[in-house]
Amino acid sequence: MPLTTAVSSCASLVCTRIVFSEQTKECVHTLRLPSLCIAAQGAKTVIVGDEVYEYNASRMIVFSVALPVAAQVTQASHSAPYLSLKLDLDPHKIAELVLKGVSARSASSPGATRHLPDSGRCRHRRRHD
């Protein structure tokens, strides 16, 4: 009998889910929240609108915003099961962490912000023919 298992764990910044499947799956429609998905073995296809993405051991996928997707495990077997790690990213907690880092850095070195002189800025010139 084919085996499918999912284990989840939540920390303060991200939720982690590990998926193990010995069989390919039917296409599932879902709302993918901001996350990083890494397949250690096997492959999964994700369809976003008209775009088709496949991630496997050599490619990962990142969702920076919530998106409706269709997803399907496309490579899995008893001898080489699909194995993936999904890190759900909480945008509010990440923003909070970034703001804390910026605040701490600003407090420890108030003169750290530098402005480039005009000569250091990028200038676009229009070419006249």
What integer pLDDT is reported at residue 6 of this predicted model? 58
Sign of dihedral through CA atoms 72, 75, 76, 82? negative
* CATH numeric code, 19-107: 2.60.120
Q: What per-residue confidence (pLDDT) applies to 9?
A: 57
Q: What is the pLDDT of residue 118?
A: 47
pLDDT (tens place) for every residue of the chain, 129 residues total: 455 555 555 555 567 788 888 888 899 999 999 999 999 999 999 999 999 999 999 999 999 889 999 999 999 999 999 999 998 888 887 788 778 877 776 666 655 544 444 444 444 444 444
What confidence score (pLDDT) does residue 4 get?
A: 57
The half-sphere exposure of 8 on its side-chain side, counting CA atoms within 13 A, is 4
Q: In what order do the strands lie in the sheet with 82-89?
A: 4-10, 14-21, 82-89, 35-41, 60-63
pLDDT at 94: 76
* C-alpha span between 73 and 86 (Å, rounded): 14
